[in-house]
Amino acid sequence: MNIETRALKTRAETDLASQYEALRASAGASVALRDKAFALFEAKGLPHRRVEEYKYSDLRAHLKSAAAPAAVASLEQSTASLAAAEAFAGVDRFRVVLDNGRLVAGLSDLEALAREGVGVTDVALLLEDEARARGVLSAPALACDDVSVALNTAFLQGGVAIAVGEGASVSKPVEIVHLASGEGARYSRVEVSLGTGAKFTLIESFAPTASSGEVNAVSNYMVGDEAELTTARLVAGGDTHVSSIFLTLGTSSRVKTLGFNVGTGFARTQSFVSFTGEHADADLLGITMLRGKGHGDQTLVVDHAVPHCNSRELFKAVVDGQAEAVFQGKIIVRPHAQKTDGRMMTQALLLSEEASMANKPELEIFADDVQCAHGATSGQIDEDLLFYLRARGIPETEARALLVLAFLAEAVEELGDEAIVAALEERVRGWLSVEA
């Protein structure tokens, strides 16, 4: 599918190469792991539009230069940054703070989490021992041949590994706050594993920061048999953001995820979902709100490798200004994955003349007794609905905001967790009022 053409290296590519040379000297035990990942980048270069998976998100053209990896932030810097990261202030939760990709133990509720039976490990420490690093830096990410993921592994600064024990039910959600203090690029890794029958709610938030530099985050969620995971992931702002999420579902597990992307920069969230046990059920939700020259890409690959699993995907985008939203979703149903039920819906609301949307909902089906469907729509706000509201005395801007909110709420509310839904809907209202 992909055309192998290697043009001259771009400035960003040479930047990354020289940065890697510098980093390699002090990489210690993790050097073999990093070298392997970097070799993939060397071979392929930054993904561009001739690479099918990045057709609509040309990272090579977007990255004019690559910022050097950010230095360790001081506790004062982190404390100040944390004070500004208030997106989920209304949610009663534990916090685990990462700044410039590294765990800030002093600002995280580690003791409280230990009491709940949740193990929290600093990924930076794991990197000092290659065997342990291999054990925790999940197989799916290491096996993946995606260049963004490879760059994350090569430049990995740190992160957090959270283990929820068998049968444990954590009383409050855990928020992993990704801070960015000062300049530079951030490469972080979040590893979450749920034991059999565990119940866990996770929030990941990437706060908007004044500083530039790209963010490259990888999250790996391993959901054990009969376990339940609910996650919300907020990406707000930043020049360049690339997130890669790996989600593996065990037998009879239940997962709800919501990816929430609001911004004016370049953001891509790519999720790789695989069903490894029967009777698992996943709700995958996505919200994209863009304005200015924003570029928001939600890419999704759902791999039904075993029978009797359900997946529902609902992705909504609201696009204003000259922004462009992208949705690429692929449902794969492997041979023998009978009785699969996969439903994918993507809808876009274009608010301005120059807004654009690219949809690519794919199905790849090799089993004959399955139900799969996808739908894609894009259009403007329905004039009839607008008229209905205005006829009842609601001013036009307010009526528009109401309709947009209703459009997005359909996906947000599927998440189920009331406090998180309220916090995100607040976010939508805030975004809409800026326009009003």
Footprint of other proteins (CB under 8 A): 1, 3, 52, 333, 335-336, 348, 350-380
Which helix (H) or strand (E) covers residue 356, if one does? strand 356-365
Six-digit token pair at 131? Answer: 């065997």
Q: What is the DSSP string of 11-27?
A: HHHHHHHHHHHHHHTT-
Closest to 299 in 3D by CA, of 256, 343, 267, 268 = 268
By C-beta, is 34 or 268 nearer to other proteins?
A: 268
Q: In the bound complex, what is the minimum distance in angstroms from residue 352's beta carbon to other proteins?
A: 6
By C-beta, is 55 or 172 nearer to other proteins?
A: 55
Contact 316, 284 (CB under 8 A): no
- For 238-265, b/e burial (b = at least 16 CB within 10 A) is bbbbbbbbbbbbbbbbbbbbbbbbbbbb
76 φ, ψ (degrees, to nearest 5): -65, -45
Which helix (H) or strand (E) covers residue 312, if one does? strand 310-319
By C-beta, is 154 or 325 nearer to other proteins?
A: 325
Q: Which amino acid is at 405?
A: L
Cα–chain center distance at 237:
13
> Up-side HSE of residue 240: CA atoms within 13 Å toward CB?
22
By C-beta, is 44 or 360 nearer to other proteins?
A: 360
Q: In the bound complex, what is the minimum distance in angstroms from residue 5's beta carbon to other proteins?
A: 10
Q: In the bound complex, what is the minimum distance in angstroms from residue 278's beta carbon to other proteins?
A: 18
Six-digit token pair at 31? Answer: 């050097």
Q: In the bound complex, what is the minimum distance in angstroms from residue 266's beta carbon to other proteins?
A: 18
Q: In the bound complex, what is the minimum distance in angstroms from residue 357's beta carbon to other proteins?
A: 5
By C-beta, is 2 or 171 nearer to other proteins?
A: 2
Q: In the bound complex, what is the minimum distance in angstroms from residue 358's beta carbon to other proteins?
A: 5
434: number of Cβ within 10 Å? 9
Q: In the bound complex, what is the minimum distance in angstroms from residue 345's beta carbon to other proteins?
A: 9
Closest to 96 in 3D by CA, of 67, 126, 116 = 116
By C-beta, is 145 or 383 nearer to other proteins?
A: 383
By C-beta, is 86 or 354 nearer to other proteins?
A: 354
By C-beta, is 136 or 318 nearer to other proteins?
A: 318
Q: In the bound complex, what is the minimum distance in angstroms from residue 367's beta carbon to other proteins?
A: 7
